[in-house]
Structure 1
Amino acid sequence: MAMLVLGIESSCDETGVALVEWEGATLPRLASHALHSQIAMHQAYGGVVPELASRDHIRRVLPLAQTVFDEAGKRLADVDVVAYTRGPGLAGALLVGAGVACALGAALNKPVLGVHHLEGHLLSPFLSADPPEFPFVALLVSGGHTQLMRVDGVGDYDMLGETIDDAAGEAFDKSAKLMGLPYPGGPWLAKLAEQGDAMAFKLPRPLLHSGDLDFSFAGLKTAVLTQAKKLGDELEARKADLAASTQAAIVEVLLKKSLSALRDTGLKRLVVAGGVGANRMLRQQLDAACAQRGVRVHYPELHLCTDNGAMIAMAAAMRLQAGMQRPTDVYAFDVKPRWPLYSLQESSQATEPVAS
């Protein structure tokens, strides 16, 4: 029997809506998706303003849903499950998506399912033209999270290492802000780095030789600040070099730790997911290093690296298909602004109610 999942993402500053469908044991496929980014709205403030983000989600979610249904040639009545991001994220923003999803579920008399935002990123490469196969090592580099894990199946995650302070995405964004680049800084820094010399400044590679798979990027940010102050009036002329050196430091740590995880686990497949996974230098170096080692690398499509509804619908569909979680017809809801990914494995998701 064919199943259709409506997914709603509203954890931060992107409003995403998507439809994913599948039949039997086939891999779920994306029917349609629509996304609105709030970047232009938040640029004036140099970062995300939570209250403004929540209000914009309210304005955008239903028109985006209409677009998705029109493009897929589907009706609301065709939906079998309504999925939404339950956490982690901004509490107010999460409540918008959860509220809309549960209201739709109640109106349609269809069950709802809360999804972990990071699991959405983790499983997003299954939406690509070259989906991975289990098991694999996953490098999850999304927002405030940088994690390496062994993935043996849906919901079967073994944490290998994670950031102990700033994540890679934060290192990109904070370093860019120190250089006076616009919000969001990461993509601007990466673009500017293409014009610079990555060897111009000797910046630290925190925990590169720690002997474990944990990450730390706070020291790198401090080093960038120190170097920017040393440059003084020369910063503008040397900004591309500083950007290139910063990017090189971050990418080297991500690359070496990923290769160590592959070596330690003996696996020959790597999945890279999250916004930083769109970084061109990271992809190039991972592709080259893994090709030498006979390792397959999988990424989400570029337009699905940032937060989006497709990854939420896909994660819900894969959990349902694997029997890892049941949707619920209890439409009272809560959200989890702080929700560690490892907790999915600690709890019995096949019986845990999604809404409470």
Structure 2
Amino acid sequence: MNAMEPASDRRDKLVTYANFATEVLSRKAPWTTVRPCLTRWTDARRSSSTSNSGKEEGYSALAIETSCDDTSVALVEVRDGSPTLQNGTATNDAPHLSVLFHEKVTANNDEYTGIHPLVALDSHRANLAPLVQRAMKRLSLYNSEDTQPSNSSLPLKFVAVTRGPGMRSNLAVGLDTAKGIAVALDKPLIGVHHMQAHALTPRLLTAMANKAQESSQLEPAFPFLTVLVSGGHTMLLNSTSLTEHRTLAETQDIAIGDFLDKASRAILPPERLRPPFGKALEEFAFCSQIRKVDETTTENLDIEKGSEYPLSEEVIQPSEPDYSDYSPPSRRQDELESRSTRWGWALTPPLAESKGGDKSSRRMVYSFAGLLTSIERLVKRPDPLFSLRERRDLAREVQRVAFQHLASRILLYLESSSTFTGDTVVVSGGVASNSFLRHVLRSTLDARSYQHIKLCFPPIELCTDNALMIAWAAIEMHRAGYTSSLDVGPIRKWSMDPKAADGGILGPAGWIKSNRNDGEN
């Protein structure tokens, strides 16, 4: 490995709340084409609500995320008075959440084929304290003599931080920082389950849109199905309550995000290969046109002046997303069939055939390793004429097969379950930002007579790791009466299923449960 660059020399990527507000909160919902469950999404600018007595109700919360290679800090305000507890569980009444600060720095791993653990760790150490410092200046604990006035009139209620799952050393940076702040300010600590936070992100959007506290419920209400798709996870869960998410299917080998990254490195031409690799694969497959340069077409192509192309060389140009070639499987048998291509090859869907030769495999698992092996063999075959068009077709087919595999287990559960009473599927995690995935899931559900099932995707900016979702998960846990003890440590692997060996979200030691309603802990 090459020596790590000094933190000051790396080209870290910064996402500020100002950009987030401009690009997300003031525009139309980006998921309206996939039957949103959040029909009341408007903008989420700050509001100043008071009780009838004139006394402001609510609090602020600080959140830290350092589970992988993103260093993120958020400061939010929550205005909802005191939620009522019923049998020790907070009611589903929706508060209003406003964002005072939200920034993220992503470690620069461009020279590697993935995330370098030491580079990510060094980025957390270099960037977390400055982010926290900027966030803390928005708190009401700063007085009038400070150089930057406070944005918040509400007191800090607790400090939230990702406890797991994730990279232990990276988690420890955030956890130790959060503990220090909690001790210094004498505030409770809440250690958050990272994947639970992803699953709850759509409910965060309900709270952000609830400016006038008009909504009586957080949406989607439990129960709902959750599909978590990222570089480290591929899971289908039945989410029945805040802390109970029963595992219905998960990957038996590699996660879909890891699969897409490796597939992109095998398929993409060198000039198109750049992180994030999954996004590069999507853009190459569906947002590009490939044309040949010759005497008759050169003048019409948008080619940079001074560039020289050999005659008949293929050129890639950007275009609008094109999913016109996709047709969803109308039957279970259609999911299992390989589709021949004009190039003579076909990709076999994962688990289409079990070891016993049963072509109707209905095992509730995901698998992507075999598909990746097929791709790598195909790309490495001794054929000098592996054109850009063939590469693009392969990129499209790879995503079609992988995403239909995701959809197949949702369908198997919906077809076999007589107890599921929900009507929503939440899809979250980094891979949920893929627009073709959204198209495949919606089209497939419609083709199989599940038009009534709503698909709920976070905005693309909140699909990847961020501290805002950590803040919200902590808010929901706090409303249910949970905080964490100061001796909690990072957890590398952590299930969400209460029947798992580790006991799920509430399984690890360190939770403190109070039945008091939003009072001081």
TM-score scaled by length of structure 1: 0.89
Distance 2:444 2:117 in 1: 40
Pairing 1:107–2:107 present: no
Residue 343 of structure 1, CA deviation = 5.1
1:128–1:301 contact (8 Å) kept in structure 2: no
- Which of these residues, 302, 326, 329, is aligned with residue 483 of structure 2? 326
Query: Judging changes above 3 Å, is the alpha-carbon distance between structure 1 residues 22 and 343 closer, same or farther for their aligned structure 2 residues?
Result: farther
Amino acid at match of 1:123: L
Pairing 1:62–2:150 present: no
Pairing 1:119–2:196 present: yes
Q: Secondary structure at the match of 1:233?
A: coil
Query: Judging changes above 3 Å, is the alpha-carbon distance between structure 1 residues 80 and 221 closer, same or farther for their aligned structure 2 residues?
Result: same
More deviation, 300-309/126-135: 126-135
Distance 1:300 1:42 in 2: 25
Residue 344 of structure 1, CA deviation = 8.6
Distance 1:348 1:224 in 2: 37
Amino acid at match of 2:496: L
Distance 2:467 2:437 in 1: 25
Query: Judging changes above 3 Å, is the alpha-carbon distance between structure 1 residues 33 and 191 closer, same or farther for their aligned structure 2 residues?
Result: farther
Equivalence map 1:22-171=2 (5 Å): 22-23=79-80, 24-25=82-83, 26-28=93-95, 29-38=97-106, 41-68=108-135, 73-74=150-151, 78-129=155-206, 131-171=219-259
Distance 1:348 1:297 in 2: 24
Residue aligning to 1:203? 347
2:64–2:174 contact (8 Å) kept in structure 1: yes
Q: Secondary structure at the match of 2:64?
A: strand
Residue 184 of structure 1, CA deviation = 2.8
Residue 33 of structure 1, CA deviation = 4.4
Distance 1:115 1:254 in 2: 26
Query: Judging changes above 3 Å, is the alpha-carbon distance between structure 1 residues 57 and 241 closer, same or farther for their aligned structure 2 residues?
Result: same
Distance 2:176 2:133 in 1: 17
Distance 2:169 2:387 in 1: 38
Distance 2:508 2:496 in 1: 18
Query: Judging changes above 3 Å, is the alpha-carbon distance between structure 1 residues 108 and 315 closer, same or farther for their aligned structure 2 residues?
Result: same
Equivalence map 1:227-238=2 (5 Å): 227-230=378-381, 232-237=383-388, 238=390
Pairing 1:307–2:465 present: yes
Pairing 1:250–2:391 present: no
CA deviation profile, 1:255-297 (whole Å, cap 9, x unmatched): 2222222333343211111111111011112223445521111
Distance 1:4 1:343 in 2: 30
1:126–1:300 contact (8 Å) kept in structure 2: no
Residue aligning to 1:17? 73
Distance 1:254 1:341 in 2: 19
2:158–2:190 contact (8 Å) kept in structure 1: yes
Residue aligning to 1:187? 279
Segments of 5+ residues of structure 2 without an aligned counterpart are 1-56, 84-92, 140-149, 210-218, 290-324, 327-338, 353-359, 513-521
Amino acid at match of 1:227: L
Distance 1:318 1:119 in 2: 11
CA deviation profile, 1:285-339 (whole Å, cap 9, x unmatched): 222344552111111121000000011111111112123x2233x3x44111122
CA deviation profile, 1:143-192 (whole Å, cap 9, x unmatched): 21111111111001111111000111111011112225323311111111
More deviation, 216-225/142-151: 142-151
Distance 1:256 1:348 in 2: 27
Query: Sequence identity of aligned pairs in percent?
Result: 31
Amino acid at match of 2:403: V
Q: Secondary structure at the match of 2:493?
A: coil
2:138–2:152 contact (8 Å) kept in structure 1: no
Query: Judging changes above 3 Å, is the alpha-carbon distance between structure 1 residues 165 and 287 closer, same or farther for their aligned structure 2 residues?
Result: same
Residue 30 of structure 1, CA deviation = 4.4
Pairing 1:277–2:463 present: no
1:18–1:31 contact (8 Å) kept in structure 2: yes
2:425–2:453 contact (8 Å) kept in structure 1: yes
CA deviation profile, 1:13-37 (whole Å, cap 9, x unmatched): 1111113424233435242442334
Residue aligning to 1:216? 367
Distance 1:350 1:30 in 2: 31
2:188–2:484 contact (8 Å) kept in structure 1: yes
Residue aligning to 2:474? 316
Q: Secondary structure at the match of 2:477?
A: helix
Distance 2:408 2:153 in 1: 47
CA deviation profile, 1:189-215 (whole Å, cap 9, x unmatched): 111110487764521211254213210
More deviation, 171-180/147-156: 171-180
Amino acid at match of 1:321: R
Which of the pair is proportionally richer in helix?
1
Distance 1:263 1:144 in 2: 28
Residue aligning to 2:146? none
Residue 51 of structure 1, CA deviation = 1.4
Distance 2:180 2:187 in 1: 10
Distance 2:505 2:433 in 1: 33
Segments of 5+ residues of structure 1 without an aligned counterpart are none
Distance 1:11 1:249 in 2: 30
Residue 3 of structure 1, CA deviation = 3.2
